[in-house]
């Protein structure tokens, strides 16, 4: 290949990179010996930025806010605003928010906060919210009920743990799609094995 053709190909790849990675930053970590990084990547991670509180919104810094169109889920890289009824959000003590595409991604996130939001710790989280699957209203994640092992398919196609405000609200969906209702406390302590396997990144 001629020098001019190689330069043209390199320029084309550099221009295409933003479109391939979206609004997040795409990074790969390769496993090699002696510091070499020419091995196949073992992990692909989306570094999704947090969003600051907007005083003009009229909301308090720790109150649930609407999902920005450009927000990326730090766990899987998806856009939570595109399937709003599944979305979740974590708000830190300084009012910065991280948005997730589903309760499933939320629980994976809570297990390893510093992995998915570098520089942050779980102890900095002040509020956690999930979207009510029935109404899309924001619910305190600690008060919500989560439908496990139902046939409802969400952003990740399976195991997305749709959230409901009460047993009464969840019952029509449970009658049609099956599943068992679980609380945040049990899910945060230990995810069921079938949900652990759905983590989008290897460790």
Strand 41-47 to 25-30 pairing: antiparallel
Average pLDDT in the 169-175 region? 94
Domain count, the chain: 1
The tens digit of pLDDT for each residue in 129-149 reads 999 999 999 999 999 999 988
First to last CA, the chain: 39
**Is residue 41, in this structure, part of any structural domain at all?**
yes
Q: Which of 88-92, 107-111, 153-157 has the lowest mean pLDDT?
A: 153-157
Q: Which residue has the higher pLDDT, 195 or 46?
A: 195
Distance between CA atoms of residues 86 and 136, nearest Å: 8
Distance between CA atoms of residues 109 and 104, nearest Å: 9
Strand 125-131 to 88-92 pairing: antiparallel
Q: How far does Cα 113 stand from its chain's mean position? A: 11
**Is residue 180, in this structure, part of any structural domain at all?**
yes
The answer to whether residues 53 and 95 touch, using CB atoms and an 8 Å cutoff, is yes
- The predicted structure's pLDDT at residue 7: 53
Average pLDDT in the 149-156 region? 82
The token pair at 134 is 């029935």
The answer to whether residues 80 and 104 touch, using CB atoms and an 8 Å cutoff, is no
What are the CB-based long-range contacts (under 8 Å, 24+) for 171-177?
173/133, 173/134, 173/147, 174/147, 174/150, 177/147, 177/150, 177/151, 177/152
**Is residue 10, in this structure, part of any structural domain at all?**
no
**Is residue 55, in this structure, part of any structural domain at all?**
yes
Contacts (Cβ under 8 Å, ≥6 apart) of 54: 65
| 12 pLDDT higher than 50 | no
**Is residue 145, in this structure, part of any structural domain at all?**
yes
Neighbours of 42 (CB within 10 A): 13
Contacts (Cβ under 8 Å, ≥6 apart) of 40: 30
**Is residue 188, in this structure, part of any structural domain at all?**
yes
Q: 129: domain range?
A: 19-196
Distance between CA atoms of residues 148 and 162, nearest Å: 8
The pTM of this model reads 0.74
**Comparing C-alpha atoms, which of 33, 23, 152 is closest to residue 85?**
152
**Is residue 36, in this structure, part of any structural domain at all?**
yes
The tens digit of pLDDT for each residue in 175-199 reads 999 998 988 887 776 666 666 666 6
**Is residue 53, in this structure, part of any structural domain at all?**
yes
């Amino acid at each position: 290949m001629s020098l001019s053709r190689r330069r043209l190909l390199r320029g084309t790849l550099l221009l295409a990179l933003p479109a391939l990675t979206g609004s997040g930053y795409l990074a790969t970590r390769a496993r090699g010996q002696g510091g070499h990084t020419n091995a196949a990547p073992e992990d692909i991670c989306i570094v999704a930025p947090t969003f600051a509180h907007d005083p003009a919104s009229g909301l308090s810094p720790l109150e649930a806010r609407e999902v920005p169109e450009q927000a990326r889920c730090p766990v899987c890289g998806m856009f939570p605003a595109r399937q709003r009824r599944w979305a979740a959000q974590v708000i830190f003590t300084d009012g910065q928010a991280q948005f997730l595409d589903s309760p499933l991604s939320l629980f994976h996130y809570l297990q390893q906060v510093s992995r998915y939001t570098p520089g942050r710790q779980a102890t900095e989280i002040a509020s956690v919210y999930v979207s009510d699957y029935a109404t899309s209203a924001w619910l305190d994640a600690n008060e919500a009920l989560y439908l496990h092992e139902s046939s409802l398919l969400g952003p990740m196609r399976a195991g997305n743990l749709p959230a409901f405000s009460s047993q009464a609200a969840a019952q029509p969906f449970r009658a049609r799609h099956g599943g068992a209702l679980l609380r945040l406390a049990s899910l945060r302590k230990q995810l069921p094995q079938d949900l652990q396997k759905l983590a989008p990144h290897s460790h």
